[in-house]
Amino acid sequence: MDPVLLFIGVVVVLGGAYLFFFSKLEKDEDLADVSKDIVGGGESGLKPEPVAPAKPKAEAKKEAPSAPKAPTAKALNAMTKKEIDQVGKDFGVQLDARKTKAAMVKDFQAGIKAQKK
């Protein structure tokens, strides 16, 4: 094996070991400083303040599931005639597929208004 590659391998392993061990020591020292502050023996001399218990979030009002809203004329115009016919069936509106798209949209909206009354 080439001595240069062997040297590079050793440097990489030692560098990894250095980072692993010394970065862990720095974290432990930081934790020790924080724990001293919490206990009251740190440099800051601060004493921990009591923490109030978290208030429970207001429960969302449970409402009966409302009927799905009918699509707008713009949304209906973006659909094909078959899709409009299927949406009409889903909402209980009988549409005539032989009519034009504009007439189907108009009939759909009239059928929805009639159902609301």
Q: Is the pLDDT of residue 43 over 80?
A: no
Residues whose CB is less than 8 angstroms from the CB of residue 84 and which lie 6 or more positions away in sequence, other chains included? 76, 95, 101, 104, 105, 108
- Between the alpha carbon of residue 60 and those of residues 26, 54, 66, the distances in Å are 46, 18, 16
Q: What is the pTM (predicted TM-score) of this model?
A: 0.44
Assign 18 a pLDDT band (cuts: 50, 70, 90). confident
Q: Which tens digits make up the pLDDT trace of 53-109?
A: 777 666 555 555 666 788 899 999 999 999 999 999 999 999 999 999 999 999 999
Task: Please state, rounded to an integer, the average pLDDT across all residues of the chain.
Answer: 78
pLDDT of 17: 80
